[in-house]
Amino acid sequence: MRGKLSIYLFMLMGILVLFLSACNGGEAEESGTNSDSETEAGTINIGFVGPLSGGSATMGIPAQNGMELAVEEINDAGGINGKMIELMARDDEADPAKSTTIAQQLSTEEEIVAVLGGPNSGPALANSEVFAKYEIPNMISIAQNDNLLDPEKSSFATTFAMSENNTYDVRAIVEFMKSQGYENIGVIVDDSAYGQGALESIETVLDEEGIGIIEKVEHPVGAQSLSSQALKLKNAEGIDAVYVVTLGNDAALFVKTADQVGLDLPILGGRGLNMSSFIDLAGDATEGVILPTIMDPDKPEAQAYIQAYDAKYGEDNDPAHVFSVLGYDAVKLLAEGLKITEGKGGVELAEALETITDFETVSGGIDHTASYSPDKHVAPNENFIIFNTVKDGEFVKVE
């Protein structure tokens, strides 16, 4: 009996050995899968959420192009410690609800280490809360509302901006107004988050600087007519100039209408006028309009960038190169932080970005550098704004 039992035990041990060998073989296959995952981990995924269709695509597509150009340069130079960057672009159609949904999907289904925000303040404000929840650093490339970066909000810790905010632009415009002797102005803004945020900054800064707002009018985005707004500004007494803060298509309609109703006053614009659609749709009515820009054609780095961008995407894609260069510089700033973390994202990357100082940018005036700190998450320093005017259908630097 004992002999038979020994035989049975021996056979059982043999079966167990075969079973364990099979398991080890399975583990070897799993190890091979992990090896593939490590290969995939050699790519650093960065998201981009912005309008790639619809009216705001004239900002979103150039921004994506500038980002792709920066990614290409970084990867050609060896990437981040040998890891290649991949840009994962998603179209939010400038819709805050859709932008939030995309942010959730990128945060939970895609292995992104950081994300680049788009040009529209409403979607940028909405999706920043999602990225903050998942501790994903969010570099806003273009949107300008002052409230996008609020130190009192939890999203501040992970939210950064390459772009200047509305107040920065308004202060620059006001300095120009004062240089021209303008004491009272009229204002027209759209009803978007961009326009309404700009209006708050305009009212605050002009009050501080002693410039009066004689008349202010608003209009819906994509307005079919702006005759009543133009006539209201024309009939207001004592206006020295009109300040237009809206985007290309609507701004084009306004200056055309102003020309038709005989509103013969100097026109100043916000940065959103730096679009081909503004000139293409309004033609001669744009002549002489003054607007802030961030590309100095006398700057060697800007010259090299313009040449590279136009060669790849065409001269008419982003004629003022404002929106594309902000995307480009945003990627370069993120890459600087990723060098510090060796490609890691999360809180570690956010803290690394806060240590970046005196980073040379293509955007801004000659010798402009960008800086962050624990209390400052907006990149531009002094000397960021240059002024353009429209001359013979082209954006030309105001000397």
Tell me the domain boundaries of the chain: 43-164+297-383, 167-293
Average pLDDT over residues 247-253: 89
At residue 387, the pLDDT reads: 95
Q: Among 9-18, 66-75, 166-175, where is mean pLDDT lowest?
A: 9-18
DSSP string covering 141-188, please? -S---GGGS-TTSGGGGGEEESS--HHHHHHHHHHHHHHTT--EEEEE
Whole-number Cα distances in Å, 290 to 94, 152, 165, 266, 321: 27, 35, 19, 8, 16
The domain 43-164+297-383 having CATH identifier 3.40.50.2300: the answer here is yes
pLDDT band at 276 (very low <50, low <70, confident <90, very high): confident
Q: What is the pTM of this model?
A: 0.86
Q: Where are the beta strands (DSSP E) in 235-329?
A: 241-245, 267-269, 290-293
Residues 6+ away with beta carbon under 8 Å from 304: none
At residue 66, the pLDDT reads: 97
Q: How does pLDDT run across 127-163, given as a tens digit for each residue?
A: 999 999 999 999 999 999 999 999 999 999 999 999 9
Judge if 43-164+297-383 and 167-293 fold alike in CATH terms: yes
Please give the single-letter amino acid code of residue 260.
Answer: Q
Average pLDDT over residues 247-255: 90
Q: Among 3-7, 115-119, 186-190, 388-392, where is mean pLDDT lowest?
A: 3-7
For the cut 90, the answer to whether the pLDDT of residue 100 exceeds it is yes
For the cut 70, the answer to whether the pLDDT of residue 24 exceeds it is no
For the cut 50, the answer to whether the pLDDT of residue 111 exceeds it is yes
Q: ∠ CA 94-227-289 to the nearest 5 degrees?
A: 70
167-293: CATH superfamily: Response regulator (3.40.50.2300)
At residue 267, the pLDDT reads: 96
